Structure 1
Amino acid sequence: MPVYKTLHPNSQTTVKIWKITESYDELFQGVKLKPESLARVLSMKSELHQRGFLSVRHLLLALGYTDFDLFYDENGKPHLKDGRQISITHSFTFSGVVISDNRTGIDIEKNREKVKLIAHKFSNYEFCYLNKDEIDYVKKLTVIWGTKEALYKLYATPGLSFYNHILVIPFDLKAGKTVAWIDYKDRKSRFDIYFWELEDFTCVYTIT
């Protein structure tokens, strides 16, 4: 399908979301890939991952870029050749790209009960305010996980720990926003976080 959702958080930033309903062959048409990108997508064993990868390239086109404008540094962080900031995500049937003049990060996660089993790996301080018996426990954990993924993508620093270095302050799901902190190597940084539900998924993004 075409772009599922477009947001303009400010005059320097655009967020676009794609709902992946097309087949691999349909997505492959209409995009041109660098040799290394072609080799990468052909080597993927999962068609779900292939479709996610290709849908991101369609989002790039919708944002005025192509695969040839995109490159990755030694930490795996994506960059655009024109110097604008970019962050990329895909999860099952959704993908997203945010492009901004400022540092940015985006993540999409499926709301699943499984998150309760791994919460101890990425949550620390947050357990001070979470209630395991509340009806929205899974959704709140998913926001926390997505927040930390988005910030990790933005920060792109080896050694940064979801559990030890990223804190998400208490939030109301209805508000669609919160604040998070990165406390790493004697440096504390504050970030505004925005989130919303996409069907049974949660999308989180941040902009500095």
Structure 2
Amino acid sequence: MPLHSLQRLSPTVLLGLWRLSETPADLWPLLPRAEAYRALLPATADGKRQAQWLGGRVLIHRLLAEAAPAVAAAVQVHNDPTGRPWLDGPGAELTVSLSHSGAWVAAILARGGRAGVDIEEIRDKAQRLASKFLAPAEWAAAQAACTTAAEASTHYTLLWSAKETLYKLAAQRGIIFKTQLLLGEFEPRAAGHIPATLVLSDFETRHCICYSQPSPGYVLTYCHESPA
């Protein structure tokens, strides 16, 4: 399936979604300078992981073609030692965030300001790990919000995804999810916003995390800042 959606969140920020149905062989021809990317493909990736890896880079290039067409083909997506993507080439001033889970790939491209995106397949894993990543107040609010097992799986996956997005926006090592990525109160819906606070060593910043369900069984979260 080709590009699922491309949404302009602001004059400087684009969000893209790709629903994977392609094999790696289908995706390679969609990449500019594919041979350069072959050297970057993780050697241990199986067919599914290869498709996710390739789909993410194809999606970023689609966003680049929309936001910076003059340089889109000359830019290459790399990953830093923590796994975060960055752009090498004439688009190096752009910020990119990337996520994939199951059949979905999500990417956000911003010119100025930080950005983060995360997509997650809904599972009960996040609920089992709640004590590891939720502050006590967040955990209590989640328990009060869920009355069924299905609601709990969705809600805890959403909370995990929101913290993943905030972590990607922070772009710093060593952040503790439980104490430095804090989520405020919100009314759980199919789509909405979650107030969040990023607590760093010398200051705090406030953010608004947007969320939705791009298809049954998945949650999407993203956050971006306005250019300074």
User: Normalising by structure 2, what TM-score?
Assistant: 0.83
- Does residue 1:20 correspond to 2:27, yes or no? no
Q: What's the CA shift string for 1:70-95, capped at 9, x where partnerless? A: 33445443223420111111111110
Q: By how many angstroms is 1:66 displaced? A: 4.5
Q: By how many angstroms is 1:205 displaced? A: 0.2
Q: By how many angstroms is 1:44 displaced? A: 2.9
- Does residue 1:170 correspond to 2:171, yes or no? no
Q: By how many angstroms is 1:170 displaced? A: 1.6
Q: 8 Å contact 2:28–2:34 — kept in the other structure?
A: no
The 1-side partners of 2:74 and 2:133 are apart by: 32
CA spacing shift, 1:76–1:34, aligned 2, 3 Å: farther
Give the percent of matched residue pairs that are identical in Structure 1 and Structure 2. Answer: 24
Match of 1:190 in 2: 206
Match of 1:77 in 2: 84
Q: By how many angstroms is 1:179 displaced? A: 0.8
Q: 8 Å contact 1:60–1:67 — kept in the other structure?
A: no
The 1-side partners of 2:143 and 2:20 are apart by: 34
Match of 2:164 in 1: 149
Match of 1:202 in 2: 219
The letter for the 2-side match of 1:164 is: T
Between the two proteins, the alignment pairs up a number of residues equal to 207
SS of 1:43's equivalent in the other structure is coil
User: Which residue of 149, 152, 157 corresponds with 1:137?
Assistant: 152
The letter for the 1-side match of 2:49 is: H
The letter for the 2-side match of 1:120 is: S
RMSD of aligned residue pairs (Cα, Å): 2.0
The 2-side partners of 1:145 and 1:42 are apart by: 26
The 2-side partners of 1:34 and 1:182 are apart by: 39
The 2-side partners of 1:109 and 1:117 are apart by: 15
Moved more, 9-18 or 24-33: 24-33
The letter for the 1-side match of 2:108 is: V
User: Which residue of 126, 145, 158 corresponds with 1:115?
Assistant: 126
The 2-side partners of 1:59 and 1:88 are apart by: 9
| Structure 2 unaligned spans of 5+ | 66-71
